Chains A and B, each alone.
Chain A
Amino acid sequence: MTDAPALSRHIPDRLNGRLSRVLRSWEVLLLAVAVAIFIVNCFASPYFLNAWNLSDATFNFTEKAMIAFAMALLIIAGEIDLSVASIIALASTAMGLALQYGAGTAELVLISLTVGLMCGAFNAVFVTVLGLPSIVVTIGTMSLFRGISYIILGDDAFRGYPASFAWFGQGYIAWVITVEMLFFVVFAVIYGIILHRTNFGRAVYAIGNNPTSALFSGIRVQRVKFILFLLTGVMSGFAALCLTSRLGSTRPSIASGMELEVVTMVVLGGVNILGGSGSIPGVVIAAFVMGLVTFGLGLLNVPGIVMSIFIGLLLIGVIALPRLWAILARRKAT
């Protein structure tokens, strides 16, 4: 096979330099796409290159990206959570309900995160303890969690969140830098470190590549997966906090369809949907790409439905192109 010729005894750490590996990576291709979209947008609309407009545009992806970071780990480990948008609905509803009983901002934060954590634990028990496939479990809880919100709220909405609560989704750190943008950066760094610099992250990759070998190597596979579901749950709770704060109200239809955009972001970021590979920098760039596309199209007054067509085409195109190249290269070679 591709065994090296008998190298006396010394085996080098790496064959290719770090630079050449980085240059050939998915992330660089994606970054090029992002730059291209940015440039096209600059020409397409005179309103694009405006600091405040660009700042507003970040709301297109910050909340989704927070969940996408945790989702990336989960998908790399070979599982998925499709209930994230419904967790947002349930967490937001719980906050609205608590508001009726006079909860303050601190309590609201606590409630949102706790509901997220509990929803994550609920998914985790079915997947890791009962061994059910996560796609089925979370399709079920997707309906379940949002269903509870509809039962509580019906056609109503909760309003009247306290002024201090608005800080999460409407606040600015400095100049045009939003509070959500700060959270986005902080979470990107935290998840990047977890995935790429810790033993836990290494276990995630090992499980995604081969759960049996990982188990046989002494990795506590089910425990790692349990934690990953807790993480997506908590991040969904945090996203619920930001989104509710930004909108200033809770409706049961809040964030509907967001789970697919989160998964799209993760896959666009180069995470293998079958598990085993992917990176947080990839997801960060994918978040910018999706944000730029939606914002650019928005400035051109393209309606939302058409926008989702573009996102879908972008996803399929970016994924299919390298595969197409490979097939064409093989054709040429033979």
Chain B
Amino acid sequence: MNRLFFYLLFLLSISLHSCITYIDKELDIKPKLVLHCYLVPQLDTTILHLTNSAPLFTNNPRKIEPVANATVEISDNNNQWVKLEYNSEHEIYFIPQAQFPINEGKTYYIRASAPGFETVSASCAVPYLREVNLDFVVEEHGSDAHEPYPHFHGYLRWIDYPGEENYYMFFDKSRMIYDYWTYTDTASWYSWWLLWDADGNPCIYSDKGQDGKKMSVLMMLGYPDIYEVTLFQTDRNCYLHEKSIIDYDSDLQSFMLEPIHLYSNIRNGYGVFGAFVMRDYVFEIDVE
């Protein structure tokens, strides 16, 4: 009986032996340059962020960090190239508009090369700043047991510019004056953060199927006196890239969903080279 018990235990131990096996898979993928650059006529400097990708499943893992020794060049005719400088403090490449102007309606080309990486390149066209008659109409949202005080929402409304592809984004412009990292007051700068509408969707729109038509989006307000918003009119690259970032970052990103490919127009690399124009709007709100 003891022997039988031992044999059964032995068989059971084989049956229950480790169910997880690690596979040392070398995918043999070379790291690539990751380039992010947006051309904006309203900004006085063009900046470009360049890092490397880190291949997974490799015996030689690599750190993701800025690539400081690259040659980054920009051109407006794909013929004569102007080199960007590197700012080591902020880890970006830059070129002032005084040196290389960015104009609406023009096509620009970028390329970057660095030792150990394949040269990357891309092109984009800067959209025109179009008059879209943006306005803002406020409505009282009402109150209920959960939210007893009256609050408001409003419709941002505009008319799509007809006859061309247009892409719109709404951003909130805020002024950064306190540096929480160093706990000091510092020189202020503006930052822009993508707005989300009352239904929890990002304010990124294309005019597909609505060329020349009225477009609108519902925004929650609270109880404001004024409403400020920055309208970005972007090219297709910016639109697809921002949209893919949001989809990728969704809460339900999981093994059950179709993997999301982040948009990229960078040849031989990742990232985006896009362009947009921007205009600030301020709406006074009278809710009496």
Does B associate with A?
A: no
Chain A residues within CB distance 8 Å of chain B: none
Chain B residues within CB distance 8 Å of chain A: none
